Amino acid sequence: MMKKLPSRRDVLLATAGLPALFAARAAVGATDAPAATSARQSRTIGFASVVAEELSSPLETSGGRPPAGLTGILWRNGPAEHDRFGHRYGHWFDGDGMVQAFAFTGAGVAHRGRVLDTPKRRRETRHGKRVVPAFATLPPGHTQVLAPDDMNVANTSILAHAGRLMALWEGGSALEIDPETLAAGRFVDWAPSVAGVPFSAHPKIGRDGTLWNIGCVPGPRPVLVFYRIDRAGRLVKANVAPVAPLGMAHDFVMTARHLVVMLAPFVLEPDLLASGRVSFLDAHDWRPALGTRVLTIDRDTLEVKRRHELPPGFHFHHGNGWEEADGTIRLDLCQAPGPGFVTRDLRAAMRGEGRFSSAHPSYRQVVLEPNGAARVGPAVPGAAEFPRIDSRRTGIRHDMVFALADGGEGEGWPFSRVVRLEPGNGEVDSWTFPGHRIPEEHVFVPRGEAEGDGWLVGSFLDVRRRVTGLGVFEAMRLSDGPVWEGVLPYPLPLGLHGTFVKS
Ligand SMILES: [Fe+2]
């Protein structure tokens, strides 16, 4: 039976002030200076704009053969147009999104890619210049943004659910994509009450196909929005919870009974954002004294049930979470001591400086007890990011996480390995890419019933040959190296997240 939806008035009340917040007038002389470099040096090839708006090519096998049982499409998304109309964005996360489809037929792999022509991008095409504020860059003479989707670049991840394919961003609506043409469609309107309300990039899907997600709504009275969507793609329930100040929450975990949202003490200053003088990223302030606030939400009622507090830390991604019989929740995440890698390093990378000198995120476990006690476990040594699990374990105990990790070489792009981690034991298996190759997120594709029985599939950028490639590993034998590898005749910009849809 359908639960009662919040009225449009409820959500409007909760999000009051949002349009005003985004209505900041153009500020004169307060823009980020575009970088002078062309970003064509080999070091920055991963942060150069894509070579064409639409691409298509088979991959040339460079080793092994594609597993016969691995058929389907690896969908990926990421910022792809960093430069347009002579203006270069200053941060990796700013660029207009591009969907990539790597189709595995059993005999070979073929690629198609297409830049997502969002309303934001079309507006800039009409103006013949960049005019819309981006996540971390204010183009010179930027204009007003009246609603979150006015600046939605749809560049973060891909969601396949209820027969629809969607490009996700963090601060606005899901964008429907035509799986045949890869053309951008309309923003998904789950219900009138939540039209245009942020829908984050890391939704969780349960075994029955139900999907949960969060949205972070900035404004004078910031709120978190919680969504529950059934397997047919219908919004069953939405709810809001006030949360001030609004800490950055990019991801969350789902257990058998709860959602858990960890708010890093990297908080939005609404007045600063509304002033129009700084970008969305630069309107955030690092306030470690706040600690990391943890909200546990009943996944049926979408009401906040418990609050915990943890020491300060900055994170984007979780692997998974689960709940023990006594209500203790265990979850994992990749956490850094502070936000420097986002505020500094990902800007330096766009300038071609090749330094990544801030403290990197590391893999950790968190325990939340029903009595309110909470603790963060020690970090697994070294950098770890882009954690992925066997998605059949979402919300239940998982024994392994796949991630990118560093090679212990210090500065420079920090990820050179794919690893399999075990919560509690740390790293158990890994494979190191050659030094001229930068691995991107690798996703698990199941084969048998057991956790980890399957393949790990992911792309890499070969900066020496200036091409993007793709590899397939036996997920439980990463150290054997890829069982198949192929390359494209062109490079793709380094991207963010993807999903494999089996056929
Ligand atoms: Fe993410």
How many whole angstroms from 202 Cα to the centroid of ligand 1?
A: 7
How many whole angstroms from 201 Cα to the centroid of ligand 1?
A: 6
Q: How much is the pLDDT for 273?
A: 92
Q: How much is the pLDDT for 411?
A: 59
Does the pLDDT at position 451 exceed 90?
A: yes
Q: What is the 8-class DSSP label of residue 193?
A: G
- Cα 263 to Cα 338: distance, rounded to the nearest angstrom: 13
Region of poorest pLDDT, from 1-10, 190-199, 419-428, 479-488: 1-10
Report the percent of the chain where pLDDT is more than 90. 84
How many whole angstroms from 143 Cα to the centroid of ligand 1?
A: 28
Q: Residue 476 burial (CB < 10 Å; 0-12/13-18/19+)?
A: middle
Distance, first Cα to last Cα, the chain: 32
Which residues, other chains included, contact 225 with Cβ-Cβ below 8 Å and sequence gap of 6+? 11, 14, 194, 197, 198, 214, 215, 216, 217, 238, 239, 240
Nearest CA to 294 among 321, 326, 272, 268? 321
Does the pLDDT at position 50 exceed 90?
A: yes
How many whole angstroms from 335 Cα to the centroid of ligand 1?
A: 13
Domain boundaries, the chain: 8-502
Q: How much is the pLDDT for 14?
A: 43
Does the pLDDT at position 375 exceed 80?
A: yes
- For 305-323, what is the mean pLDDT? 98
Does the pLDDT at position 354 exceed 90?
A: no
Q: How much is the pLDDT for 410?
A: 57
Nearest CA to 94 among 275, 313, 349? 349
The three-state DSSP-derived secondary structure of 28-87 is CCCCCCCCCCCCCCHHHHHHCCCCCCEEEEECEEEEECCCCCCCEEEEEEEEEECEECCE
Q: Give the pLDDT band (50/70/90) at residue 315.
A: very high
How many whole angstroms from 65 Cα to the centroid of ligand 1?
A: 30
Average pLDDT, the chain: 91
Region of poorest pLDDT, from 160-169, 361-370, 387-396, 404-413: 404-413
Q: How much is the pLDDT for 8?
A: 41
How many whole angstroms from 338 Cα to the centroid of ligand 1?
A: 17
Q: Give pLDDT tens digits for 398-431.
A: 999 999 999 866 556 889 999 999 998 898 999 9
Q: Give the pLDDT band (50/70/90) at residue 256.
A: very high
Q: How much is the pLDDT for 23?
A: 35
Supply φ then ψ for residue 432, to 5 degrees. Answer: -100, 130
How many whole angstroms from 250 Cα to the centroid of ligand 1?
A: 6
Does the pLDDT at position 19 exceed 70?
A: no
Class of domain 8-502: mainly beta
How many whole angstroms from 168 Cα to the centroid of ligand 1?
A: 10
Q: Residue type at 75?
A: W
Q: How much is the pLDDT for 43?
A: 60
- For 454-469, what is the mean pLDDT? 96
Q: How much is the pLDDT for 11?
A: 43
Q: Give the pLDDT band (50/70/90) at residue 358.
A: confident
How many whole angstroms from 1 Cα to the centroid of ligand 1?
A: 33
How many whole angstroms from 28 Cα to the centroid of ligand 1?
A: 32
How many whole angstroms from 251 Cα to the centroid of ligand 1?
A: 7
How many whole angstroms from 209 Cα to the centroid of ligand 1?
A: 21
User: Cα–chain-centroid distance for residue 92?
Assistant: 12
- For 153-158, what is the mean pLDDT? 98
How many whole angstroms from 282 Cα to the centroid of ligand 1?
A: 19
CB atoms within 10 A of CB 420: 22
> Is the distance from CB of 100 to CB of 75 less than 8 angstroms?
yes
Does the pLDDT at position 17 exceed 50?
A: no
How many whole angstroms from 200 Cα to the centroid of ligand 1?
A: 9
How far are the Cα atoms of 221, 436, 457 from residue 154, in angstroms, in the given order? 25, 29, 23
Does the pLDDT at position 3 exceed 90?
A: no
Most confident of 49-63, 349-363, 403-417: 49-63
Q: Give pLDDT tens digits for 68-105.
A: 999 999 999 999 999 999 999 999 999 999 999 999 99
How many whole angstroms from 214 Cα to the centroid of ligand 1?
A: 13
Q: How much is the pLDDT for 284?
A: 97
How many whole angstroms from 319 Cα to the centroid of ligand 1?
A: 11
How many whole angstroms from 126 Cα to the centroid of ligand 1?
A: 30
Q: What b-and-e string marks burial along 155-171, b requiring 16 or more CB atoms within 10 Å of the CB?
A: bbbbbbbeeebbbbbbb
How many whole angstroms from 496 Cα to the centroid of ligand 1?
A: 7
Region of poorest pLDDT, from 10-14, 85-89, 346-350, 373-377: 10-14
Q: How much is the pLDDT for 39?
A: 33
Supply φ then ψ for residue 198, to 5 degrees. Answer: -50, 140
How many whole angstroms from 235 Cα to the centroid of ligand 1?
A: 23
How many whole angstroms from 76 Cα to the centroid of ligand 1?
A: 12
How many whole angstroms from 450 Cα to the centroid of ligand 1?
A: 26
How many whole angstroms from 326 Cα to the centroid of ligand 1?
A: 31
How many whole angstroms from 170 Cα to the centroid of ligand 1?
A: 9
- Name the more confident of 2 and 229: 229
Q: How much is the pLDDT for 127?
A: 96
Q: Hey, is 223 helix, strand or coil? A: strand
